[in-house]
Chain A
Amino acid sequence: MMDQIAAGVLAGRGGDSSSPLALSDRTILDQSSAGDWLALLKPRVVTLVVFTGLVGLLVAPGHLHPVLAVTAVLCIAVAAGASGAINMWYDRDIDALMRRTARRPIPAGRIAPGQALGFGLTLAVGSVLVMGLATNAVAGGLLAVSILFYVFVYTVWLKRRTPQNIVIGGAAGAFPPLIGWAAVTGDVGLLPLLMFAIIFMWTPPHFWSLSLWAHGDYARAGVPMLPVVAGARSTRRHVMVYTLLLAPLAVLPWALHLTGPVYGLAALALGGGFIAGAWRVLRDRQDAAGASQSRDAPARALFRYSLLYLFTLFAALAVDRFAG
């Protein structure tokens, strides 16, 4: 089934457009549901982006009218969704080859690529304009930079070229706290920069723990994720190194007296848990080639923990702000 879908998409890209298999954009639009358009926005990814952006907005000094605060968060969500839609448009060929993504609306043939691109561009431009008008130019500008970074630096430039794709590209997902903060203050301070750095450093162990068990998909699609290029053993070491960098970095806002003890204790405890999880990934039972003999159970556990880590860490930051 997946092969048929993949073959259809790949054949269509350079193939005969008069094929009886080919459908008009209009026909495809008729087949799409509202849920398909929502799926283009990668709602699960947006959840995390919105949450970190909201925390950036909450911890910023000053006051933003609730209507404008809701608008700012909405713009961050829509911009993240727009980036996802444009990413799905660009990556439709490799999405069709990966089991995890083959059922997305474009490779599954429920939304035409041009429609997805138009949808993404409209939302991207709209979200930046509304953010700029509702809050300030700095927040609007940062939002635009985050979209451009995700689309051009990560999706177009890095993703298919280097195993460092998610290290550098991870910066795109680290922008929301800066944007939320800037929406309130009109500038960027040290705390949101540290929040940016935490997400930036969190992204590699988060994604690499996923790619440890999903590397077959990436290899099939020719995406040079670290396990595909350097092997599982090297990836586990990288996960450990980045986790060892992340844990103390997350404590820094407390050490610099930018937050209170609620956040500090949370960062220490959560960091300890992250290091323990990364250690279990490093020590996972593996064969001579480094392949896991536990179906990558520790990597799966670390991936789940990493999501909990970021949510809890940022929630502690918000709690700390209001508790203090």
Chain B
Amino acid sequence: MVAEHAPPAPLDDAGLARRRRGRNIAMLVILLGLVVLFYAIAMVKMAHHGHAG
């Protein structure tokens, strides 16, 4: 598959690796954040339903 872009400025291998590492760390933070968020939402909802029941 070929995309439809002008080429960005070329990066060397170290630059590419640095960017990939940055994206991976960001993804890790987001995923961990979502785990915590969904856990917290579940706890609050369960507590609420517990009181209602």
Contact = CB atoms under 8 A, between A and B. Distances in A.
B3 A23 contact: yes
Chain B, interface size: which category? Answer: 20 to 34
B4 to A, nearest CB: 3
B31 interface: no
A32 B23 contact: yes
Contact of B22 (A13, A33, A65): A33
B19 A113 contact: no
Grouping DSSP codes into helix (H, G, I), strand (E, B) and loop, the B interface class, with mixed when no group exceeds half, is helix
Interface string B1-35: 11111111001000010011011011000000000
Nearest to A35: B22
Contact of B4 (A7, A108, A113): A113
Interface in A11-27: 12-13, 15, 17-18, 21-25
Interface stretch (A66-74, A249-257, A265-273): A66-74
Contacts of B40: 67
B19 A28 contact: no
B8 A110 contact: yes
A28 B8 contact: yes
A30 interface: yes
B3 to A, nearest CB: 5
Contacts of B23: 32-34, 37
A22 B4 contact: yes
Nearest to B40: A67
